[in-house]
Amino acid sequence: MTVEQAETIRVVITDASVLINLTHTGHIPLLGCTPGYRFLVSEEVVEEITDPWQRDLVDRAISDGTIERTKVEAPAELAVYAELTLILGSGESACLALASCRGWYLACDERRVFLREVRARIGEHRLLNTPGLYVHWIRSGLLTVAEADEAKLKLESQRFKMTFGSFGELV
């Protein structure tokens, strides 16, 4: 099933970095109006956000329904979670367990061991990252290339580097 064919794709936000990036740019509200997607966050990921200002923004996004809180609870999910915590952090483990057991997508900027596990368990085609979200928002008409490029500059000032010059190169 492709993104275009799906009625609603559930995307679990795997690490705090995606949410933190969106707090820096002010774009968390876009998660709630992204066509074809519903974004969820696990309890473990919420707990990773320790900056009070960022945590407040995430808590408000949960309260207003922009993103939905979820948790690992089925026996199969708990088994995968326990296995993954041996090699990954709690947030990454929870979300990969949810994605693999429930057929969800992931939103994450992590690499290395996590990316290897994503490839093995669900396939890289079910992984979105921060730049990918911006590309989708441009294509959906939620942002212009200029607005996305402004966000790119903000993120780069926070040490989140992207390997391209402008989102115009990607859309």
pLDDT in tens, 7-41: 788 898 877 889 999 999 999 999 999 999 999 99
In a domain, 4, yes or no: no
pLDDT tens digits for range 35-63: 999 999 998 899 889 999 999 999 999 99
In a domain, 90, yes or no: yes
In a domain, 15, yes or no: yes
- Of the candidates 73, 117, 116, which has an alpha carbon nearest to the alpha carbon of residue 93? 117
In a domain, 152, yes or no: no
In a domain, 109, yes or no: yes
Label residue 3 by pLDDT band (50, 70, 90): very low
Give me 106's structure tokens.
Answer: 């992931």
Q: Residue 48 is part of a domain; what is its CATH number?
A: 3.40.50.1010
Q: Which domain holds residue 113?
A: 9-144
In a domain, 163, yes or no: no
In a domain, 18, yes or no: yes
In a domain, 133, yes or no: yes
Total number of domains in the chain: 1
pLDDT tens digits for range 72-108: 999 999 999 999 999 998 989 999 999 999 999 999 8
Pairing, β 37-42 against β 9-13: parallel
